[in-house]
């Protein structure tokens, strides 16, 4: 009965934290209240130490839902991380909110007040109330898309990614934005989109901006441009949102068959270094610290077996021993290392130790024991002299066996249940 109530409480907690709430926040800068929609990740309540990236959506009354749907779908397949999604409802105020000076392109009058509201009131409020990672994204459409570029001009930009859909650009922004991107000293994602059905006055400026950004050589700038066919000014957002999110969160995805074949399988060694680099990039670029996925372990294991650089198993054990210390993964990796380097007794010992720990993924106690038993057959028989057994019986080695080693060159792509294990 106690476990029933515990499960019920957990379900209610997950449901509560995955719901969308609305708050009316008073802005001294605007001298008015603004309605802000907030959706916390489903795991928010169960992970009190974890921080989440922030996605701030302008025009929240109609852009919030399509972003929400794409994020939910992407997170289900572990292609996108959980984020804190916030939308500002602007309605007819969006044009005043996006007001700018014609010559400089910087926010003016009401636009300047809205700019300050976001930077000095809303974001500090959200930071204080929720666990937000340093990585923040801002998104908008036409007027608000042009407006969000103003945040690029802060000495320390408060956003690390910009989703600009069919932006209405101030005069000269085709040159100013590339200049600013070229001077960036921190990693930045910049996305913009138009379509053949977009407003002509927007298309010309957007394509000129794209041409100029293409000349930017700053390696810290991750840029993507889409020109959709058959989409109108408003419907292009349905294409642009998943494309932009895919660009920004590409590094977050599990190792795919393509990534394995093109980047990992071709390496003669240092496969674990590649794994470290991948997860360091996730942390540095997105502010997300996470355990290595089991599917990614399998990919590296397959590459190690293919190359014959078996020291990689010992290096993997250093990771699995820290991140999954209660499971048999560490002993599996060490057992594989010793087995492949012909230290059979040590391999058997680790497989046996694994039997006493928690199963994980497709690693089971039966597999560990079977592996140990198979290796014991390779040991020279003890106690035999002149073909007759000694009086003293041989000491039996009792150990376990690891999961079946990968037999394919590429990882198997499956919906990962273990993706929630962090």
CATH number for position 31: 3.40.50.1820
Comparing 92 with 315, the larger pLDDT belongs to: 315
DSSP state of 31: T
pLDDT range class, residue 380, cuts 50, 70, 90: confident
Same domain assignment for residues 137 and 270 = no
Q: Which of 196, 225, 252 is the last residue of a domain?
A: 252
Q: 225 lies in a domain? A: yes
Task: Assess whether pLDDT exceeds 80 at residue 402.
Answer: no
Percent share of the chain, pLDDT over 90: 78
Q: What would the mean pLDDT of 87-94 be, rounded to a whole number?
A: 93
Q: 389 lies in a domain? A: no
Same domain assignment for residues 138 and 285 = no
Q: What would the mean pLDDT of 166-194 be, rounded to a whole number?
A: 94
> Measured on CA atoms in the order 108, 150, 232, 229, is the torsion positive or negative?
positive
Q: Which of 218, 252, 286 is the last residue of a domain?
A: 252
Same domain assignment for residues 53 and 181 = yes
Q: What would the mean pLDDT of 130-140 be, rounded to a whole number?
A: 97
Query: What would the two tokens of residue 135 be?
Result: 């990585």
Task: Assess whether pLDDT exceeds 50 at residue 272.
Answer: yes
Q: 319 lies in a domain? A: yes
What is residue 382's predicted lDDT score, i.e. its pLDDT? 67
Q: 275 lies in a domain? A: yes
Q: Which of 216, 235, 252 is the last residue of a domain?
A: 252
Q: 388 lies in a domain? A: no
pTM of whole model > 0.75? yes
pLDDT range class, residue 303, cuts 50, 70, 90: very high
The CA-atom distances, in angstroms, between 16 and each of 42, 44, 254, 285 are 8, 10, 28, 29
Least confidently predicted of 236-245, 310-319, 390-399: 390-399
Average pLDDT, the chain: 88
Comparing 400 with 335, the larger pLDDT belongs to: 335
Please, are residues 58 and 164 in contact by the beta-carbon 8 Å criterion? no
Same domain assignment for residues 75 and 223 = yes
Same domain assignment for residues 262 and 336 = yes
Same domain assignment for residues 101 and 233 = yes
Q: Please count the structural domains in the chain.
A: 2
Q: 267: domain range? A: 257-380+394-420
pLDDT range class, residue 157, cuts 50, 70, 90: confident
CATH number for position 331: 1.25.40.10
Task: Assess whether pLDDT exceeds 50 at residue 153.
Answer: yes
Range among 95-99, 379-383, 400-404 with highest mean pLDDT value: 95-99
Please, are residues 141 and 63 in contact by the beta-carbon 8 Å criterion? yes
What is residue 326's predicted lDDT score, i.e. its pLDDT? 96
Do the bridges between strand 52-57 and strand 84-88 make them parallel or antiparallel, or are there none, so unpaired? parallel
Q: 387 lies in a domain? A: no
pLDDT range class, residue 383, cuts 50, 70, 90: low
Q: 386 lies in a domain? A: no
Q: 56 lies in a domain? A: yes
Same domain assignment for residues 232 and 353 = no
What is residue 154's predicted lDDT score, i.e. its pLDDT? 83
């Amino acid at each position: 009965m106690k476990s029933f109530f515990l499960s019920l409480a957990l379900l209610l907690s997950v449901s509560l934290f995955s719901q969308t709430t609305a708050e009316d926040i008073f802005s001294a800068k605007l001298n008015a209240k603004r309605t802000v929609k907030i959706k916390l990740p489903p795991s928010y309540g169960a992970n009190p130490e974890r921080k989440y990236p922030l996605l701030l959506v302008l025009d929240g009354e109609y852009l919030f839902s399509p972003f929400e749907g794409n994020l939910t779908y992407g997170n289900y397949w572990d292609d996108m991380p959980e984020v804190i999604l916030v939308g500002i409802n602007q309605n007819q105020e969006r044009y005043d909110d996006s007001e700018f000076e014609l010559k400089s392109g910087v926010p003016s009058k009401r636009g300047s007040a809205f700019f300050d509201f976001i930077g000095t009131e809303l974001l500090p409020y959200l930071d204080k109330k929720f666990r937000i990672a340093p990585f923040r994204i801002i998104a908008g459409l036409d007027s608000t898309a042009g407006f969000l570029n103003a945040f690029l001009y802060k000495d320390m930009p408060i956003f690390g990614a910009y989703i600009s859909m069919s932006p209405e650009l101030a005069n000269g922004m085709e040159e100013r934005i590339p200049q600013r991107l070229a001077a960036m000293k921190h990693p930045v994602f910049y996305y913009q989109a138009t379509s053949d059905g977009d407003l002509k006055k927007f298309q010309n400026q957007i394509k000129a901006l794209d041409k100029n950004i293409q000349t930017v050589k700053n390696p810290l700038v991750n840029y993507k441009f889409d020109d959709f066919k058959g989409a109108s000014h408003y419907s292009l957002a349905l294409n642009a949102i998943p494309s932009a999110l895919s660009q920004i969160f590409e590094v977050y995805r599990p190792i795919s068959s393509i990534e394995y074949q093109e980047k990992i399988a071709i390496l003669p060694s240092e496969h674990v270094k590649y794994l470290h680099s991948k997860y360091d990039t996730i942390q540095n670029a997105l502010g997300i610290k996470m355990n290595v996925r089991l599917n990614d372990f399998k990919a590296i294991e397959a590459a190690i077996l293919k190359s014959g650089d078996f020291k990689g198993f010992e290096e993997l054990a250093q990771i699995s021993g820290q991140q999954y210390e209660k499971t048999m993964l560490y002993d599996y990796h060490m057992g594989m290392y010793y087995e492949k380097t012909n230290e059979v007794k040590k391999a058997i010992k680790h497989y046996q130790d694994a039997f006493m720990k928690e199963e994980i993924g497709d690693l089971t106690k039966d597999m560990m024991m079977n592996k140990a038993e198979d290796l014991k057959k390779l040991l020279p028989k003890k106690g035999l002299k002149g073909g007759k057994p000694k009086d003293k019986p041989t000491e039996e080695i009792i150990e376990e066996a690891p999961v079946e080693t990968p037999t394919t060159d590429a990882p198997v792509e499956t919906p990962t249940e273990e993706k929630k294990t962090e």
